[in-house]
Structure 1
Amino acid sequence: MAEAFRGEFYQKVDGKARVSIPAAFRAILIADDPLAANTQRPRLYMVYGGKTRNFVECYSKLGADRLAEDIESMELGSKERTRAERDLISRSVMVEVDGEGRIVLPPQVREKMGFHGDDLAGGGEAAFAGFTNRFRLYRREVYEAELAEDDDDDVDPLTLVGRHKRTG
């Protein structure tokens, strides 16, 4: 990964379920997808699995490949690997960013985000939230409600950094 997905962005979702990918995120998607070097149309991998998740986890081509490698390193046939494969691989979809920097949200993704039926007729809004090697895509209201809940613990986030080191 050339850069980290950073920041929060709000983008309109039109009546055809199209949404523009923020330019900063698009640049990372292009850098992480060898096929996009000439076309500027990177692939985006959208994970909509996980019953308790109220967001869609989004990966670049490189990020999706690394996630798959991590899952493949788990014990074959284990309950954990089977769940990871089901929720993170089977319940995912690959979309291509169009020449104008937009994607069409697939039906499973719209459902996960809470856009049902005619919700988009009047327009909707998506929140893009950077998480270093991936970003999350929420319905704006859901993201803002989650932020309001989580920011109430009086913990300085810098005290959390370095507590748990990743091995491997």
Structure 2
Amino acid sequence: MGEAFRGEFYQKVDAKARVSIPAAFRRILEAEDPATADFPRPRVYMVYGGKNRDFVECYSKAGADWLAAEIEAMELGSKARDRAERDMISRSVMVEIEPDGRIVLPAQVRAKLGLGDGPVEAAFAGFTNRFKLFRRDVYDAQFEDEDEDDDVDALTLIGRAKKERGM
């Protein structure tokens, strides 16, 4: 994996559904999707599938290729693979980034996020090899009830995961 998507950024989505991808995220998308004759501009792969998700998961070209390879490694014809292919591959869209760093959010993405016709604010949240795009109020609501956290430090969770992997 290259550089990780890190941080939280808030951007306005205008009435034409245009939004600027944060510069830090654009640098990663550019690095992981070198220009070609067919695609001179970097792309972002937006996964809007999954009925229980209130966000859109966004990958670089390299990240989208990694995701597809992980799904291809699953048992062909299995329910799990069929669901992963449906939610993560079929229900995704590739968008080229404009030279000014903006994209126009496709209709499926706008529907997933519950964006209306008027201007709204979006939240971009880094998640190592991907970032998630939320409507700002939905993202903020996740943190209203932080008492729900089990008071375990995140580093402890990382240590537990390493132990489970036998490291």
TM-score (norm 2): 0.91
Give the Cα–Cα distance (whole angstroms) in 2 for the partners of residues 111 and 164 of structure 1.
35
Q: Is the 8 A contact 1:40 1:99 kept in 2?
A: no
Give the Cα–Cα distance (whole angstroms) in 2 for the partners of residues 111 and 26 of structure 1.
24
- Secondary structure, in 3 states, of the residue corresponding to 1:98? coil
Give the Cα–Cα distance (whole angstroms) in 2 for the partners of residues 49 and 146 of structure 1.
20
| 1:84–1:13 Cα change, 3 Å | same
- Secondary structure, in 3 states, of the residue corresponding to 1:147? coil
Q: How does 1:22-101 map to 2 (within 5 A)?
A: 22-35=22-35, 41-101=41-101
Give the Cα–Cα distance (whole angstroms) in 2 for the partners of residues 84 and 146 of structure 1.
25
Gaps of 5+ in 2: none
- Secondary structure, in 3 states, of the residue corresponding to 2:88? helix
2:155 alignment partner, one of 143, 154, 158: 158
Matched, 1:134 2:107: no
Gaps of 5+ in 1: none
Displacement of 1:151:
5.7
Give the Cα–Cα distance (whole angstroms) in 2 for the partners of residues 147 and 114 of structure 1.
19
Matched, 1:18 2:18: yes
Displacement of 1:157:
1.3
Give the Cα–Cα distance (whole angstroms) in 2 for the partners of residues 56 and 159 of structure 1.
28
Give the Cα–Cα distance (whole angstroms) in 2 for the partners of residues 143 and 73 of structure 1.
32
Deviations 1:14-64 (A, max 9, x none): 11000000000000000000227xx87211000000000000000000000
| 1:2–1:129 Cα change, 3 Å | same
Instruction: Report the aligned-residue RMSD.
Output: 1.9
TM-score (norm 1): 0.90
